[in-house]
Structure 1
Amino acid sequence: MNKLTKWWNGPWMVPTVSGTLILLSFFVARVLGSDPVSNLLMVAAAAVAGVPIAIKAVRALMVRNISIDLLVSIAAIGAVIIGEYWEAAAVTFLFAIGHALEARTMTKTRSALAELVAVAPDVAVVLRDGEQVEVPAGAVATGETVLVKNGAKVPVDGVVIGGNGALDEASITGESIPAEKTEGDQVFAGTVSRGGFLQVRATGIGADTTLARIIHRVEEAQDAKAKTQAFMDRFATWYTPGIMAMALIVGLATGNVVLALTLLVIACPGALVISIPVTVVAGIGRAARDGILIKGGEYLESSARIDAVALDKTGTLTEGRPYLTDVVVLDPASTREEVLTWAARAEAGSEHPLARPVLEAAAAEGLSTAGLPEATEPVPGKGITATTGGRRVLIGNAALLEQYGVADTVGAARAAEELAAAGRTPMIVALDDAVLGVIAVADQVRMDAAQMVADLHAAGVQKVVMLTGDAPLVAQAIGKATGIDEVRAGLLPEDKLDAVRELQAQGHTVAMVGDGVNDAPALAVADIGVAMGAAGSAVAVETADIALMGDKLHKLPESIGLAKRTVRIMRQNIVIALATVAALMAGVFAGGVTMAIGMLVHEASVLVVIVNAMRLMRRREPATTQVAPAPAAQPVEPARVG
């Protein structure tokens, strides 16, 4: 009974009933020889299929919109009046089939959204008063402990506080390989446990989860119109009344009512109207499945024109987690352990981000930092000075040594320059009035960074530019390792904005990729702002034009390639639709194209356009140019090493 009700309320009920009446009409006419009954059945078929069309036409007129449905309604009513019952039935029946196909296609192209909704968990197992309690997922309170067992869906966003396991995060990041999760790792609602047992502290529930935000974003994106679609809507607004006027003039000039009604039918721009939205929805749906959130059709279309990409360095081309790479001993009376120990003791009281890798390296080697220094003073642009154990320690550049009158007699500046040229950030270490050595830290270049740059070029991007606040020598080394076309270093946030504007002034369509914080001005002014690794970041998901949910660089060229495919298919569909209408109109004036034949060819063009758009739903691996991975930082041997 439920299936029957679903079918009765579905898009295929009207064409099925109408088609059945048409077959009965032919049967009555050919077998029983009753033309009046046959004609009555044919009119009934036209009414069944035509009434919904007429209702839509009237509703459109009420909001001052002359729609395609009005063309078909006038043609069908006119055909009935002049006794062309078969033509009336055929036109409305075929148009109803077209509507059903469109509805089914839009449902299918929105399947990515349906899949996201389907993975939303219904229940959660919560630990309350030491007992495991099963509750609706929406009833979990923030801060509660949720248990995730093998095979279960994670019901909330949260942080692992106990246990370990593997989660399938394909619904969030598009990655099919399960991610290992241990204490301290973040998990997302809708992901599925593929093994292990996790205790998760809930941080996001219900509409506040990453999955809910993605669903909301995809809903809005699939409804947003591309510029081409908006143009086509305006075109149809003028085109439809123009066709009606032309049909009226032809009818009055020739006295041929059938010809005028036929023109109304075959000139329907149905394929043209459906060609853009079905393509946009399919493209955005395909992207969502792959963990790429595109804000709407306009941004999808703009992404196809991207020919310059500006990249932040830290966290995009690099891992965003610096580590100690070198300890260069320059004082013959000192050892490696002494240089690192004094540096760590001084950095223990520093807020500088490079203090952490120094402290971590000292701790890993079992060196004592003896608590906090007695005093720590940052020297902007130069480094820090600290007093620890009654001794003064300087850590910074050559300008810091000069400011405090420490003579560089052991070649520290030259050693620092060599380290910087190799892509490290060097820091000279001086104790009291003597230079002990140089330490260096580096941010590891991502293994897939060079491949990503090569893939961007393969996708049609002419220029890949690095915009970073880091030192020029460090930036140049990373740019060389990854194949970046242009490196701009030592930039403040406003400098990055100016760099993007400069690229735009050169005629480029620019995509800016960054973390959305210090890169916010540049992201805002770029033609397309791209947020990397946006899973879990509400701000990134809501504000970026494109949000790459997984922290995978290959998704950037993949998104540009998908945008180009979508626009290419969009243009193909426009050509198919316009060529079909032009050929049919020529056929009508030349003779031989009837109302029924015209509508049949017209609906066939709708089907071709739909099938062409559906090709986007197939996943296609992007073409890549194989390059060697970016090399990890290697120790540098300066001229003098103690």
Structure 2
Amino acid sequence: MEWVVARDTALFIASVIAGAPTAISAYKAAKAKAFSIDLLVTIAVIGALVIGEYVEAAVVSFLFVFGAYLEVRTLEKTRRSLRDLVDMAPQEAQVVRDGQTVTLAVDDIIEGDHVLVQTGGKVAVDGTIVSGQGLLNEATITGEPVPRSKTTGDTVYSGTILDNGYIEVVADRIGDDTTFAQIIELVEEAQETKTKAQRFLDKFANVYTPAIIVLSVLVVVVTRDVEFALTFLVIACPGALVISTPVSMVAGLGNGARHGVLVKGGDALERLSKIDTLVFDKTGTLTMGRPEITEIRTVDTDESTVLALAAQLERASEHPLGRTVVEEAQNRGLPLGESPTEVEVIAGGGIRGIVGSRRVAVGSKRMLASTDVALPDELAEYADARERAGNTVVFATIDERLAGIISIADQIRPEAAAAIATLRGRGVKQFYMLTGDNRHTAELVAAQLGIDHAESELLPQDKVRIVSELKAQGHHVGMIGDGINDAPAIATADVGIAMGAGTDVSIQTADVILMGNRFDQLVHAHSLAKATVHNMLQNTVIAIGTVVLLLTGVLTHQVFMSTGMLVHEASVLIVILNAVRLVRYRDKGINRLHANPVRNPVGGDRTIAGDRAAQRIG
């Protein structure tokens, strides 16, 4: 008899100790007017203690606490990618101050400081190399493990590691403004967002919990069996259902971050899985964004003068083609002189302004029309021929007269065609290309990449209109771009996707960011989104199926409180382990994209930059 009392006392104390955290959690939720699963368990444990079922009370409280412990431990694994990112953040750096090299905390570095990085060191700022060279591992930014060679003039990012070499970097962005810091912030914010399924389950729990309590009271009234009612109460806990979607979402987001794909939340991940129409910008997105001048034809003006004046004006522009003109002039050693004045951007057409004492304009045929400059038939035919050869044609006028025609070509991303074919095989039905470039170049690129529709000579508002029309037709539209002019269309699409090397505006607007600027990352992101949503569905089926089976067992007196609770906690663990599989998910088709890149055999017939540049597509 004394042994029984001692046993019951020990079980009572164990139940109280193990059940206390659950009861506290239930009380806090109730104060916030939320009915949590903890409330059901707390009522069941208290009821079991009141009627003297100490074994049942101890088993239920222990299993629930143990299940919560396993849940936290397993969920921590899914967040490891974020923790690894934070751990990789540099804490200090060597900085040149007043001619002396000093070691400073990263927070003490200011813009313009010269930061020294040696072999094995981490880059602490976003900046530009001013001296030295080396191999940089940029996996933390791009997801690409192969080191890249960097030298004077190249951009480097905080958090990357110098595998070999020595570089001196001038700090352009510091602290929270660095790309690496923004990646960490984006991943943290994304893991706090909720999918539609999660929001539904949160509402479901607030309705389900009080409903189960009411049903349990009715069971007591009808059966007069308190133990049976408490068993019903415990077994009805949908613990696995409540965590079924968040654990999958966190694992999916963590996987994306490890592979250079930043997704701004579970809702964006869900929308990405549903896209059936994908819209591309061309320059800097489908192409490498590093165009080169292939030919310059002048009209009553020498070539150096045309290029120098055009480059001086284009220094006020951020357009990739404008930067190409400036770089070509610098490579030839042409003097660029003073900055232009009275600069005016011609939307979708070009730029004009005063360079020295001369009025200069550079841009497309739309620019010529806006400045009332005539284009002779012979030169119009020449320009048309250059466009058919895959070049983008830029016109330069000096003092309201046509002075030169500059042909520029860019290279298609080698993995783009294979990526589009892969996406088509996985449910994306239509592909569009929207570009401000000429019709010939657009059609040439579209034909080579297998794109269904190519729209050319568009303004930013035209891109928005087309995306809006596609959505109105019932399509789930994804828009991918890299420039300021793409940002409105990116924001309009169901899912906005930005290239990581794009402008800040396009990146901030997008739902998904491809940090490595590669289409294999787009394929992985789409495949990962589908896998994550499928995983959520699997977990939901497991959770609901377990509750239904257990309740059936309770009602037929085949399942009792302790065994039911054990099965319940096992279902929670199964759901978590199923979600953790996403952490190591990798699309099997990615390697084939790298193994079969598509080359660009199309190009111009005369070149300045060489035969290789002449074979590029504008």
Structure 2 residue 217 is the aligned partner of structure 1 residue 251 = no
Residue in 2 aligned with 1:19?
Answer: none
* CA displacement 1:98-138 (0-9 Å, x = unmatched): 11011112221111110011011122111223222122221
The separation in 2 between residues aligned to 1:509 and 1:360, in whole angstroms, is 40
Residue in 1 aligned with 2:387?
Answer: 420
SS in 1 for 2:18: helix
Structure 2 residue 459 is the aligned partner of structure 1 residue 492 = yes
Instruction: Sort the Cα spacing of 1:134 and 1:238 in 2 relative to 1 into closer, same or farther, 3 A.
Output: same
Pairwise CA distance, 1:141? 2.2
The separation in 2 between residues aligned to 1:119 and 1:522, in whole angstroms, is 34
Contact 2:235 2:561 (8 Å CA) reproduced: yes
* CA displacement 1:456-484 (0-9 Å, x = unmatched): 22332111111111111111111112211
For residue 518 of structure 2, the aligned residue among 552, 560, 572 is: 552
Residue in 2 aligned with 1:108?
Answer: 77
Residue in 2 aligned with 1:55?
Answer: 24
Instruction: Sort the Cα spacing of 1:526 and 1:234 in 2 relative to 1 into closer, same or farther, 3 A.
Output: same
For residue 612 of structure 1, the aligned residue among 554, 578, 601 is: 578
Residue in 1 aligned with 2:556?
Answer: 590
Residue in 2 aligned with 1:562?
Answer: 528
Matches within 5 A, 1:52-201: 52-201=21-170
Contact 2:311 2:325 (8 Å CA) reproduced: no
The separation in 2 between residues aligned to 1:139 and 1:471, in whole angstroms, is 49
SS in 1 for 2:119: coil
Instruction: Sort the Cα spacing of 1:182 and 1:68 in 2 relative to 1 into closer, same or farther, 3 A.
Output: same
Contact 1:147 1:199 (8 Å CA) reproduced: yes
For residue 469 of structure 1, the aligned residue among 425, 436, 443 is: 436
For residue 407 of structure 2, the aligned residue among 437, 440, 461 is: 440
Residue in 2 aligned with 1:527?
Answer: 494
Deviates more, 1:241-250 or 1:268-277: 241-250
Instruction: Sort the Cα spacing of 1:182 and 1:102 in 2 relative to 1 into closer, same or farther, 3 A.
Output: same
Contact 2:414 2:597 (8 Å CA) reproduced: no
Pairwise CA distance, 1:46? 1.2
Contact 1:125 1:148 (8 Å CA) reproduced: yes
The separation in 2 between residues aligned to 1:370 and 1:134, in whole angstroms, is 39
Contact 1:173 1:290 (8 Å CA) reproduced: yes
Structure 2 residue 401 is the aligned partner of structure 1 residue 455 = no
Structure 2 residue 250 is the aligned partner of structure 1 residue 287 = no
Pairwise CA distance, 1:429? 9.8
Residue in 2 aligned with 1:515?
Answer: 482
Pairwise CA distance, 1:145? 1.3
Contact 2:484 2:506 (8 Å CA) reproduced: no
Contact 1:416 1:428 (8 Å CA) reproduced: no
The separation in 2 between residues aligned to 1:205 and 1:399, in whole angstroms, is 39
The separation in 1 between residues aligned to 2:177 and 2:46, in whole angstroms, is 53
Deviates more, 1:235-244 or 1:203-212: 203-212
The TM-score with structure 2 as length reference comes to 0.86
The separation in 1 between residues aligned to 2:224 and 2:457, in whole angstroms, is 78
Contact 1:124 1:134 (8 Å CA) reproduced: yes
The separation in 2 between residues aligned to 1:355 and 1:71, in whole angstroms, is 66
Pairwise CA distance, 1:277? 1.0
SS in 1 for 2:280: strand
Deviates more, 1:397-406 or 1:259-268: 397-406
For residue 471 of structure 2, the aligned residue among 482, 490, 504 is: 504
Amino acid in structure 2 at the alignment position of 1:471: N
Residue in 2 aligned with 1:7?
Answer: none
Contact 2:490 2:509 (8 Å CA) reproduced: no
Instruction: Sort the Cα spacing of 1:444 and 1:83 in 2 relative to 1 into closer, same or farther, 3 A.
Output: same
Instruction: Sort the Cα spacing of 1:204 and 1:378 in 2 relative to 1 into closer, same or farther, 3 A.
Output: closer
Structure 2 residue 199 is the aligned partner of structure 1 residue 230 = yes
SS in 2 for 1:519: helix
Deviates more, 1:573-582 or 1:100-109: 100-109
Instruction: Sort the Cα spacing of 1:50 and 1:358 in 2 relative to 1 into closer, same or farther, 3 A.
Output: closer
The TM-score with structure 1 as length reference comes to 0.83
Identity %: 45
The separation in 1 between residues aligned to 2:546 and 2:366, in whole angstroms, is 74
Instruction: Sort the Cα spacing of 1:102 and 1:356 in 2 relative to 1 into closer, same or farther, 3 A.
Output: closer
CA RMSD after TM alignment: 3.8
Structure 2 residue 522 is the aligned partner of structure 1 residue 576 = no
Deviates more, 1:548-557 or 1:250-259: 548-557
Instruction: Sort the Cα spacing of 1:102 and 1:540 in 2 relative to 1 into closer, same or farther, 3 A.
Output: farther
Instruction: Sort the Cα spacing of 1:205 and 1:420 in 2 relative to 1 into closer, same or farther, 3 A.
Output: closer
The separation in 1 between residues aligned to 2:259 and 2:90, in whole angstroms, is 20
For the pair shown, the structure with the greater C-alpha radius of gyration is 1
The separation in 2 between residues aligned to 1:310 and 1:205, in whole angstroms, is 34
Deviates more, 1:571-580 or 1:218-227: 218-227
Pairwise CA distance, 1:635? 3.0
Structure 1 portions without partners, runs of 5+: 1-28, 638-642
Contact 2:95 2:101 (8 Å CA) reproduced: yes
Q: How many residues align?
A: 594
